[in-house]
């Protein structure tokens, strides 16, 4: 196995790395560090989150920085405040013995005057989020005309968050002579286009397979009806008493609802979403990082940049629409050599999505059954027994009370005493799961056939000319309709109008929720439509209109 000393790093960096407890470079570091130290080529590095990418670009850049020049020489762009601060922290740790290296983080949600003051003092390396970087460039505080390295970290996530225009604006402010380093977990078409447009014959390095998940993550899914999704979530959590994970939801409102429900049911959970202030977000993240919070319920956007290495689980309460987003989510567990589980709760119409994700992962996703009441009860019981068996007893704290306790319990024999203590602690689970039904769907095709006639086909007066997409329809239903967990079927986007299917039970809710909603300068109109000839039907709810 290669050692850090063999990568060409100087003794100051080796000393700092050893103090941090690292002995051997990760696969992406062993490939990237020598390349950057020896060559000036542009570089595309593909590796999953949590594989040491900051060290891969940070260590060689620190070694090559000209400390006598106070101009900004390296710019690291990343998607979120949390990742910005983490990268800055890592670079400062790596440069502990490298004299006079100045690193400045700049990000939104913090006083810009402090950041301006730091930049005016001079900084060799700037780490920032696209929005704040653009702001500082426009204020003529951040100057990139002498930039030597432009580093795009988590480039695919920045594009997913809608930073494409900001990225291109910032890149245009940098000199042609710069060396561009692009680090990404996946290589979607948009990233490939940026590489082609702004990079010069880049070298491509990979750690693992292209667009594939981490090797030490177990992938599984559970199939239930949409109405049983929350029950399934609780059972997955209950059968894993030591779970420490992120639960991904589709919308802010769903995130709030699920977190509130979990808290109300006695789980150690909280929500992370876009409606939180930066101070509230910091409190939630601090509790989660320090493991004072067991479950974090989040949207994809809110979870960007979360850097926690010991997650046991990622749970997809809803599958993402994009299979590559699934890879991002699953990559948050199984880090730093540890194993993890990515579990998805799906309904009968999402088998196709599972197959798409499997193709991208290049590995199967295991179909598992939602744990039964008996399995959960047994797992929780033995978890409690293990805790009791391994508890640290503080004689100083309880010794004064022991004589009275022994006297009070003297009438109980050993077996009866154990029964009573276990029952006292364990009764809640036993009562909750008593007579709990099996919520698994066993015959997928039969369930799908039964469900297919329970969808209504709706007409909407917007189409490609209005820049309407399938994603827009899903977002509109999620945001504008008060009911939650509505299943959406086939979507057909045509030139001036479109059709989409929804669970027939929510037909009126969707029509009411979307009608007269403004979209790209037009007021939407949604009405019932006839089933597509030869396609899926809808229950007869009166006169059908044909479009």
Q: Give the CATH number, domain containing residue 309.
A: 3.40.50.300
Q: How many residues does the chain have?
A: 547
- Where does a domain end: 321, 349, 372? 372
| Residue 144 and residue 235 in one domain | no
Q: What is the token pair recorded at 129? A: 């989020």
Please report whether residue 535 resides in a domain.
no
Residues 185 and 318 in one domain: no
Q: Which two tokens stand for residue 472?
A: 């827009």
> Residue 106's pLDDT is what?
95
Structural domains in the chain (count): 4
Within this chain, do residues 416 and 366 fall inside the same structural domain, yes or no? no
**Residue 310, domain member (yes or no):** yes
Burial class (CB in 10 A: 0-12, 13-18, 19+), 403: exposed
Alpha helices in 199-277 (DSSP H): 229-238, 252-264
Range of the domain at 497: 453-529
Measured CA to CA, the distance from residue 374 to residue 371 in angstroms comes to 8
Residues 74/149, Cβ–Cβ less than 8 Å: yes
Asked if the structure places residue 50 within a domain, the reply is yes
Is residue 94, in this structure, part of any structural domain at all?
yes
Q: Are residues 338 and 235 in the same domain?
A: yes
Q: Which of 355, 372, 389 is the last residue of a domain?
A: 372
- Claim to verify: residue 147 and residue 14 sit in the same structural domain: yes
For residues 360 and 389, state if they share a domain.
no
| 534 domain-assigned | no
How far, in Å, CA of 358 to CA of 366, rounded?
A: 10
What per-residue confidence (pLDDT) applies to 95? 93
pLDDT given at position 445:
44
Residue 440 maps to a domain: no
Q: Among the three residues 162, 183, 206, which one is the final residue of a domain in this structure?
A: 206
Residues 252 and 194 placed together within one structural domain of the fold: no
User: Which position has the token pair 């000036």?
Assistant: 40
Which two tokens mark 388? Answer: 């009791």
Structural domain includes residue 86: yes
Q: 493 with 407, same domain?
A: no
Question: What pLDDT does residue 395 have?
Answer: 66
159 and 267 inside one domain: no
d(CA 305, CA 295): 17
Taking the model in full, what pTM does it have?
A: 0.59
The edge-to-edge listing of strands for the beta sheet with 313-316 is: 269-272, 295-298, 245-248, 313-316, 340-346, 217-223, 366-367
Whether residues 275 and 173 share a domain: the answer is: no
* Rounded Cα gap, residues 79 and 271, in angstroms: 20
Count other Cβ atoms within 10 Å, centred on residue 392. 4
Q: Are residues 227 and 197 in the same domain?
A: no
Give which of 8, 16, 5 is closest to 92, Cα–Cα: 16
pLDDT score at 77? 93
Record the tokens describing residue 69, joined without a space: 């020049």
- CATH number for the domain that contains residue 509: 3.30.70.330
pLDDT value of residue 485 = 67
- Range list of H helices, 95-141: 112-121, 130-138
- Residues (pLDDT < 70) of the chain are 1-2, 48-50, 160, 187-188, 208-215, 304-305, 307, 336-337, 394-396, 425, 443-453, 484-485, 531-547
Query: Looking at the structure, do residues 12 and 45 belong to the same domain, yes or no?
Result: yes
Within a domain: 447: no
What is the C-alpha to C-alpha distance for residues 536 and 547, in angstroms, rounded to an integer? 16
Q: State the pLDDT at residue 484.
A: 65
């Amino acid at each position: 196995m290669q050692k850090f000393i063999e990568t060409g790093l100087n003794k100051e960096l080796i000393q700092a790395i050893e103090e941090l407890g690292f002995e051997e470079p990760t696969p992406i570091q062993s490939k990237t560090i020598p390349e950057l130290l020896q060559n000036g080529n542009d570089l595309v590095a593909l590796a999953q989150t949590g594989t040491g990418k900051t060290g891969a670009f940070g260590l060689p850049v620190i070694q090559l920085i000209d400390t006598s020049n106070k101009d900004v020489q390296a710019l690291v762009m990343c998607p979120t405040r949390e990742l910005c601060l983490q990268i800055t922290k890592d670079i400062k740790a790596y440069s502990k013995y490298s004299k006079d290296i100045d690193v400045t983080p700049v990000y939104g949600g913090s006083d810009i005057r402090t950041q301006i003051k730091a930049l005016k003092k001079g900084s060799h390396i700037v780490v920032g989020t696209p929005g704040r970087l653009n702001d500082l460039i426009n204020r003529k505080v951040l100057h990139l005309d002498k930039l030597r390295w432009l580093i795009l970290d988590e480039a695919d996530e920045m594009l997913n968050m809608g930073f494409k225009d900001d990225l291109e604006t910032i890149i245009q402010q940098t000199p042609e002579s710069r060396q561009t380093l692009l680090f990404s977990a996946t290589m979607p078409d948009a990233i490939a286009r940026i590489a082609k447009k702004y990079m010069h014959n880049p070298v491509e390095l990979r750690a693992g397979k292209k667009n594939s998940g981490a090797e030490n993550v177990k992938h599984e899914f559970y199939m239930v009806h949409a109405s049983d999704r929350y029950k399934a979530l609780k059972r997955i959590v209950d059968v894993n008493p030591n779970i420490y994970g992120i639960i991904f939801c589709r919308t802010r409102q769903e995130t709030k609802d699920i977190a509130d429900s979990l808290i109300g049911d006695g789980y150690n959970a909280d929500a992370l979403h876009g409606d939180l202030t930066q101070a509230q977000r910091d409190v939630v993240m601090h509790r989660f990082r320090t493991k004072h919070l067991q479950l974090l319920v989040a949207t994809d956007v809110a979870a960007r940049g979360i850097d926690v290495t010991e997650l046991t689980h990622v749970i997809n309460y809803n599958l993402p629409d994009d299979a590559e987003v699934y890879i991002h989510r699953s990559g948050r567990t199984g880090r730093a050599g540890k194993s993890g589980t990515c579990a998805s709760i799906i309904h009968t119409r999402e088998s196709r999505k599972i197959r798409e994700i499997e193709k991208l992962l290049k590995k199967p996703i295991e179909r598992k059954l939602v744990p039964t009441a008996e399995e959960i009860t047994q797992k929780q019981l033995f978890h409690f027994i293990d805790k009791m068996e391994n508890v640290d007893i503080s004689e100083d704290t309880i010794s004064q009370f022991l004589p009275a306790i022994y006297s009070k319990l003297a009438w109980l024999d050993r077996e009866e005493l154990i029964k009573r203590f276990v029952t006292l602690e364990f009764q809640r689970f036993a009562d909750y799961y008593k007579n709990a039904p099996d919520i698994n769907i066993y015959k997928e095709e039969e369930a799908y056939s039964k469900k297919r006639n329970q969808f209504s086909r709706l007409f909407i007066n917007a189409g490609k000319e209005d820049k309407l997409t399938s994603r827009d329809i899903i977002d509109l239903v999620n945001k504008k309709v008060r009911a939650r967990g509505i299943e959406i079927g086939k979507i057909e986007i045509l030139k001036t109008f479109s059709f989409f299917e929804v669970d027939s039970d929510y037909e009126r809710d969707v029509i009411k929720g979307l009608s007269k909603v403004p979209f790209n300068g037009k007021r939407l109109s949604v009405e019932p439509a006839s089933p597509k000839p030869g396609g899926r039907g809808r229950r007869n709810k009166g006169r059908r209109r044909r479009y």
